[in-house]
Amino acid sequence: MKAVLITEPGPPAVLKIGEVLEPQPAEGELLIQVKATSLNRADLLQRRGIYPPPAGTRADIPGLEFSGTVLESREPDCRFKPGDRVMGLLPGEGYAELVVTPAVTVMPVPPNLSFEEAAAVPEVFATAYDALFRQVGLKEGERLLIHAVGSGVGTAAVQLSREAGITMFGTAGSNEKLSKATELGLDVGINYHTTDFVETVLHQTSNAGVDAILDLVGASNWEGNLKVLRPTGRMIIIGLVSGSKVEADLSVILRKRLRIMGSVLRFRTLAEKAQLTHLMIENVLPLFEQRRLTPVIDRVYPWQEVSAAHSYMEENRNFGKVVLAGRW
């Protein structure tokens, strides 16, 4: 089969389409014909050789999610049969014609979504849903600050928070991204190049601050985040695009009784991923069918233009997801 290969660690040009052996499904797994996948920030790091996948997953084929059709099922419960339209999370290897994956981490594609749209759902909606509602425990009426609100995960977080009745502040690097995020439900957009998010959030909340923060950016926001969290506020850090090293005044965390969490999906156990998949099917996918949630796609690239797609994301140009699809 064909797959996009990381021929050596390096810039987007190291990605080439090549031939690899077809994967074989084991007991409990499905063999899937991939129709589309989408890029995640982690793919860029993996391409540069600094984010290896979990053991047992090929390091030279990126891809954390897929949409496609079932070709073969070795699942005893027969929840899925050949021909079914499915989508799901992967630990890697999604930039390929075929993938095998445990059936317990597979979701049906909502009937109103195309394969391209479906490929933009699993990673960002599972990440945002898990972080905001299972870990931070957001409640209706709370105030949330989302950093990198125009990212794939950010655009999922805005929509899920809107549906939950949350008041949202969000940062991004351009007014264009902020105005698109506002269309999705963001209440207050802050361009971090021109405006200090701490001042804006404190001003807009009469110095009360926010109940929670979803931080996809990391180091550069650390100090400001501690300032804008209200006493007993919660913060979850799930991305480190600005770096991971900070100098911390731990006394603020004590005095304000803050709860600071971190999370990553890719390295969770199969049982944890299966549980999250189940919760997505129960709680999130119906909102797509009701057209209350939408996959936000910036661009769809053909597989042959995968290097251009990586460059586009690396230049921070995308609002929402970048999808790979089409004929090989």
Ligand X SMILES: NC(=O)c1ccc[n+]([C@@H]2O[C@H](COP(=O)([O-])OP(=O)(O)OC[C@H]3O[C@@H](n4cnc5c(N)ncnc54)[C@H](OP(=O)(O)O)[C@@H]3O)[C@@H](O)[C@H]2O)c1
Q: What is the CA radius of gyration of the chain?
A: 20
Q: Does 68 bind ligand X (CB under 6 A)?
A: no
Pick 158 or 325: Cβ nearer ligand X: 158
Q: What angle do CA 233, 237, 241 make, to 5 degrees?
A: 140
- Answer yes or no whether residue 217 interacts with ligand X by CB under 6 A: yes
Structure token pair of residue 189: 């957009």
Q: Which is nearer to ligand X, 9 or 18 (CB)?
A: 9
Among 61, 158, 172, 213, binds ligand X (CB under 6 A): 172
Query: Tokens standing for 174?
Result: 């351009």
| Alpha-carbon dihedral sign for residues 159, 313, 322, 273 | negative
Is residue 191 near ligand X by the rule CB under 6 A? no
Decide: helix, strand or coil at residue 111: coil
Strands in 210-215's sheet, in edge-to-edge order, are 188-191, 167-172, 143-146, 210-215, 229-237, 259-262
Considering only 29-37, 149-157, 161-169, 283-291, which stretch makes contact with ligand X by CB under 6 A?
149-157
Q: What does the alpha-carbon distance between residue 57 and residue 86 come to, in Å, rounded to a whole number?
A: 21
x/- letters, 260..279, toward ligand X (CB under 6 A): ---xxx--------------
Of 109-117, 122-130, 194-202, 248-256, the segment contacting ligand X by CB under 6 A is 122-130
Size of the site for ligand X (CB under 6 A): 28
- Which residues ranging from 231 to 250 are in contact with ligand X (CB under 6 A)? 238-239, 241-242
End-to-end CA distance of the chain, in Å?
Answer: 10
151 contributes a contact to ligand X by CB under 6 A: yes
DSSP tally for the chain: helices H, then strands E: 11, 15
316 contacts ligand X (rule: CB under 6 A): yes
| Residues forming the site for ligand X (CB under 6 A) | 40-42, 123-124, 127, 148, 150-153, 172-174, 177, 216-217, 220, 238-239, 241-242, 263-265, 313, 316, 318
